[in-house]
Structure 1
Amino acid sequence: MIRVLVVDDEALIRMGFTYILNTVDDIEVVAAVPGGQAVGTVRELHPDVVLLDIRMPDVDGLTILADLRRIPDPPVVAMLTTFDTDEYVATALRSGAAGFLLKDTDPEHLPYLVRTLADGGTVLSSAVTRTVVDGYLDKGAREPSAVRLVSGLTERERAVLVLMAEGLANTDIGERMHLSTGTVKGHASAVFSKLRVTSRVQAALIAERAGLLTPPKDGDTR
């Protein structure tokens, strides 16, 4: 059972997400609270996944995210927004958010997205993906610091990193590489440690900056 906490200051949003997610057998919304109750509820109920509104009138979603990341064994956090392109997207992803969802996500897709988050995958709406790639990454050259970081990975860890950056969940990576989910989790943990990051999105940014996600140019011997 995947335990989910919904954090939003709009009661209608909390009710809607709760209703949708509680219609499936493997997901349980353990609480749906306004922003001011988020950290205390996480400490009390220990959810697996938190769906967190990034813009709330009384409390900053980014501040809550930072507080949640400091909790031992923190939950997976995906940010919610009503905007196709949010000015805070880069900050949220670099601060450890594992996903960024629009509030008008198709209800039929929402349980799948939560399962992906719980399984260690990255969930980004197409608009957010475009923002990250086009607005925040320099695709013209590799960054030496990123290249140095990925050079410390083993061949298998590098392969896991690339698949994580493509948004695959642990089970999907395991199937692709013919590894158990536990083995994939072990490699992912090693990748995070060696890259000095705390989320898949941060690891994906380093992979992009190191040139791992870009086809090599003619004569480039990566």
Structure 2
Amino acid sequence: MSTTRVAIVTGGSRGIGRAVAERLGREGYAVVVNYASKKADADEAVEAIEKAGGQAFAVAADVADETAMASVFDQAEERFGGVDVVVHAAGVMPLAPIAELDLAVLDRVLRTNVRGTFVVDQQAARRLRAGGAIVNFSSSITRFLRPGYAAYGASKGAVEAATVILARELRGRDITVNAVAPGPTATALFLDGKSEELISTLAKEPPLERLGQPEDIAEVVAFLAGPARWVNGQVLYANGGAI
């Protein structure tokens, strides 16, 4: 059986997820790029990984659909022999004050960000090989607590709680479970709908005086996925020191 480590990256077609998929590909992982709907973007991510000498394939699945995600893990096992790392980067971030929040939008946020985390982590907990790692995505908004972010922040607070509890539940399995909590990062998810003035203001908040880049976050994920065996049950705030 191949000794190549295998990673599933949800939300792997764009933004931070794509940067993570490509970084793990360069680290020698065989990568399964999971995406929701943008097949062309996912195919580009696979092509980039393969051009750099890696192995990858893309598969569409709704992270909140347990049957669809079980199929993603099935395909990873069939193609590559098993799964070692799961990076759950998929998420949505609509913004609105609580008083004006459409509860249907809240339901969508909770379905994708909270149920999706439970669905993905459940499959990972059942299937990961010893020496594996689960990396969830929270957000520094759980510390920033900015107006308009209540639905998103609440969903990420749930992710943080689930992450730490799962790490404890996997005692004896030699599997680490951590979460990365990025600050403002230059992705479409963050930049869409924001004025240049607001983006400039947010970029000046960290002592490093810039927005994070997807590659900055991918570096943290690669650390947690591989060498960081003694980091477990933690939330790592990757925000340039903004708070």
**TM range, smaller chain:** 0.3 to 0.5
TM score, norm. by length of structure 2: 0.41
